[in-house]
Structure 1
Amino acid sequence: MEAIEDIVIVGGGLAGLATALGLHRKGIKCLILESSPDLRTSGFGFAMWTNAWRAMDALGIGDKLREQHVLGKRLTILSTSGKILSDNSISGVRGKSGFQEFRCVKRDLLLKTLNNELPTDTIRYSSKIVLIEKDGNLKLLHLTDGSIIKAKVLIGCDGVNSVVAKYLGLKKLSFSGRLATRGLTEFETEHGFKPGFLQIIGGGHRAGVIPCSEKSVYWFLTWIPSEENKNVDQSTEKMKDYAIRNLKNANASEETLELIQRSEMGNVISTPLKYRSPFSLLSAKITEDNVCVAGDALHATTPELGQGGCMALEDSVVLARCLSEAIIGYNRGGDAEYERIQGALEKYAKERRWRSIKVITLSYIVGFIQQSANPFVRFLRERLLARVIANVYINFPSYDCGKL
């Protein structure tokens, strides 16, 4: 049996849920196809900067999340020798387009908040696409259970291994040469960590500690694989020991070391940091006919600027706005509707292409500078580049994706 849907979103992660909510706010129904059997709330934290909060306000969920997460006050960058390289205010400071805001949001709370705002029948779980075909103005989506769905609009929000990106012909992601380990520590009482973003950089590592709330703290460590650290990610304890050993050498506080020791880590202890080549995006098909991609499927990036989730939220607002302008108030069906949808997706792609190229490029450069063990790069980092990087962190989120 073949069901016909106006808009199908592949992937029920941040980008998929946010795009669906944007469309729902405009009165447009859509269907999310999620391959997992339930909502994917595993994971720990998202660094949410000003641009992300503007997007969440546009989606109508900003204040609900502010209530549960502390406002970050300062961005402090330390060298592995313990030297303060930069110390800047990051919230309440007037930027290029208004006051800045930074909070680290717990991933499960963010996804549950988005999901709770959607109609109950929006997500179809355990639904994995195995083949996409063209049928006139429609796309035929063949699922693993043998069913077929016809879609007037197909949006790929299915992450770094996107089947929709593959359909569009986007190139495979590149490996940055770095891996990341993340964790979250929950406290029974207030933890005492200052609200802000603490980073320790250099010597092949980049570590960060960010309180999410008064009783929870998110931490991460990005590292370069070598013979010295081979197999450290085979178990949680080995990975914790490796993180603690390196942070101890970097003069991290006893509170930070204890934080890591007692933290919760996921089943996936470390993940390779991959990115979509910015050069490939110069001419890549972000959209074709009535198909497009958003979130990591479009602009997978290394995490150094903390902009992966922020960019996904920007995408969702821009995409929902473009599609609603093409759909609302017009007669449905026929070639005219198909052409309006094409135009809407092309408008979205034009707006997001250069923004995506910029964040991928800057993130990669910042990551290289922060983690490099090269003596010359270290010299520049400790005398000049750390302050430049801090300014990038603070000024890049000034972007405003606009309203729905």
Structure 2
Amino acid sequence: MTRAVVIGAGIVGLTTGLALRRAGIDVVICEQAPEIRAAGAGLGLWANALAVFDELGIGEQVRAVGKPGEMYFHDPAGRLLDTPEFGVEDHRYLLVHRARLNDLLADAVGRENIRLDTGFREYEEHASHVEVRLSGGGKEEADVLVGADGTYSAVRAQLVPGTPAQEHPGHHAWRAVIPAADITVLRNRLVLGPNGCRGGYVRTHDGSVYWLVNQFQSPPLTGTRKQQALDRARHLEDAGEDGILTDLIDATPEELILHNQIMLVPPLPHWVSARVALAGDAAHAMSPHITAGATLGVEDAGLLGHLLGSTGDVSAALAAYEATVMPRYARAAELSATVEHSPSPQDFARHYAAFSHWMTTQPLRQLDESQVRA
């Protein structure tokens, strides 16, 4: 039986572990943290990710911990930035809570297959296997190693030296999930404003509210996280608007507000070797303004499971994986840049819909078994 070691028990690592197990591969997932946990709050999943979860037999469970939504944008006065050239299906996604999705995936993989408090140190490739050395002096021998260890991937550092995560200059994000409490939130609202600011709020499946604020080309930060978020929210609500975003930020305890300097992974010359592969943010961490990083990572996981389960030739399977995912991600990066550099909010809305249309109507194709045989 083929054996795999997956580094990282985030959403992509757990999905990779599940996809490999469903393909008949023996899997161990190593996570350096002492518990299964998720960095961040809400997470958007598009139809192509949900299709992967359906194939893995957990689609309905994933939908049960999420709330369907539609990604439409408004201006600060509340006017819809319409995109008539795209249909409703190009705007639909599922908002899930990261921690709940992680728990669901950990249960589906089998927690007995996850080793917590086990960090990755290095690997050594051999003709017949890869030796994975772990923290505390432990080691594992496997047929394949998958680095799903995120933006700051230690696996990537060895596989593709000299490619540390880079700051997306001036790009910051603030967000939180809070109970609605005394603030009435009757609808979801995502707003594109001046000064590179974007943000809004969406209701979650359990009655809470997820709010977020982003800014491109931000000036140097001053004040508390709450004050930083409030300063940007003022660009997103015209006088006379309901002020719900400001009220939600005001009502959020400082310690619940997450702030991130957005980090990117530079384009890589390769994602695989004969027995090692990168997946998700480890290979292609991208700006969250297109809400697609997790979806693209879930696609990576599904394809790895399909290819490695279709042949005993690990090297051929990984070569086919790289040949498929690298061009797709290069196109995703091009479309993401087009959205980011939109000259107006209306253009941003239109380019965003064009990206989601491309991503969901041209999902990562499943290769036929004959295409991955040596």
Q: TM-score, normalised by structure 2?
A: 0.87
Counterpart contact for 1:209–1:217, Cα < 8 Å: yes
Q: Counterpart amino acid of 1:187?
A: A
Pick from 59, 62, 77 the counterpart of residue 59 of structure 2: 62
1:44 aligns with 2:15: no
Partner residue, 1:220: 212
Pick from 153, 161, 164 the counterpart of residue 172 of structure 1: 164
What is the rounded CA distance, in whole Å, between the counterparts of 1:179 and 1:368 in structure 2? 16
Aligned in 2, Cα 1:367/1:115: closer, same or farther, shift over 3 Å? Answer: same
Aligned in 2, Cα 1:385/1:296: closer, same or farther, shift over 3 Å? Answer: closer
SS in 2 for 1:285: coil
Structure 2: gaps spanning 5 or more residues:
368-374
Report deviation, 1:39: 0.2
Counterpart contact for 2:12–2:301, Cα < 8 Å: yes
Deviations 1:119-154 (A, max 9, x none): 232111111122222344332322221222222211
What is the rounded CA distance, in whole Å, between the counterparts of 2:86 and 2:176 in structure 1? 23
Report deviation, 1:385: 5.2
Counterpart contact for 1:290–1:341, Cα < 8 Å: yes
Counterpart contact for 2:73–2:349, Cα < 8 Å: yes
What is the rounded CA distance, in whole Å, between the counterparts of 1:89 and 1:54 in structure 2? 25
Deviations 1:148-191 (A, max 9, x none): 22222110000011111111116233322211112112236995
Report deviation, 1:82: 4.7
Deviations 1:194-237 (A, max 9, x none): 2x56232331212132222250222221124655x5233xx443
Pick from 167, 176, 190 the counterpart of residue 183 of structure 1: 176
Q: Counterpart amino acid of 1:79?
A: D
What is the rounded CA distance, in whole Å, between the counterparts of 2:348 and 2:216 in structure 1? 21
Report deviation, 1:34: 0.3
Partner residue, 1:134: 125
Structure 1: gaps spanning 5 or more residues:
328-339, 370-376
Aligned in 2, Cα 1:38/1:345: closer, same or farther, shift over 3 Å? Answer: same
Report deviation, 1:353: 0.7
SS in 2 for 1:270: strand
Aligned in 2, Cα 1:151/1:198: closer, same or farther, shift over 3 Å? Answer: same
What is the rounded CA distance, in whole Å, between the counterparts of 2:351 and 2:218 in structure 1? 29
Structure 1 range deviating more: 179-188 or 110-119: 179-188
1:321 aligns with 2:284: no
Pick from 73, 76, 88 the counterpart of residue 77 of structure 1: 73
1:396 aligns with 2:369: no
Report deviation, 1:21: 0.7
Counterpart contact for 2:193–2:235, Cα < 8 Å: no
Report deviation, 1:7: 0.7
**Aligned alpha-carbon RMSD (Å):** 3.0
1:144 aligns with 2:135: yes
Q: Matches of residues 254-333 of structure 1 in structure 2 within 5 Å?
A: 254-263=243-252, 269-277=258-266, 280-281=267-268, 284-327=269-312
Partner residue, 1:199: 191
Q: Counterpart amino acid of 1:342?
A: S
1:160 aligns with 2:154: no
Q: Counterpart amino acid of 1:122?
A: N
SS in 2 for 1:353: helix
What is the rounded CA distance, in whole Å, between the counterparts of 1:133 and 1:230 in structure 2? 43
Counterpart contact for 1:11–1:32, Cα < 8 Å: yes
What is the rounded CA distance, in whole Å, between the counterparts of 1:11 and 1:241 in structure 2? 34
What is the rounded CA distance, in whole Å, between the counterparts of 1:342 and 1:250 in structure 2? 60
What is the rounded CA distance, in whole Å, between the counterparts of 1:144 and 1:20 in structure 2? 20
1:348 aligns with 2:321: yes
Instruction: Report percent identity of matched pairs.
Output: 24
What is the rounded CA distance, in whole Å, between the counterparts of 1:268 and 1:214 in structure 2? 19
SS in 2 for 1:390: helix
Aligned in 2, Cα 1:303/1:20: closer, same or farther, shift over 3 Å? Answer: same
Counterpart contact for 1:240–1:261, Cα < 8 Å: no
Partner residue, 1:333: none
Deviations 1:280-305 (A, max 9, x none): 34xx1211110000000111110122
Counterpart contact for 2:279–2:301, Cα < 8 Å: yes
What is the rounded CA distance, in whole Å, between the counterparts of 1:297 and 1:238 in structure 2? 32
Q: Counterpart amino acid of 1:353?
A: M
Pick from 86, 102, 105 the counterpart of residue 82 of structure 2: 86
Partner residue, 2:330: 357
What is the rounded CA distance, in whole Å, between the counterparts of 2:239 and 2:308 in structure 1? 49
Deviations 1:229-271 (A, max 9, x none): 5233xx4433343344443458753223222222367677321
Aligned residues: 365
SS in 1 for 2:236: helix
Report deviation, 1:81: 5.4
What is the rounded CA distance, in whole Å, between the counterparts of 2:7 and 2:189 in structure 1? 33
Structure 1 range deviating more: 341-350 or 178-187: 178-187
Counterpart contact for 1:183–1:264, Cα < 8 Å: no
Deviations 1:10-37 (A, max 9, x none): 1110110001111122232201110100
Counterpart contact for 1:80–1:203, Cα < 8 Å: no
SS in 1 for 2:258: coil
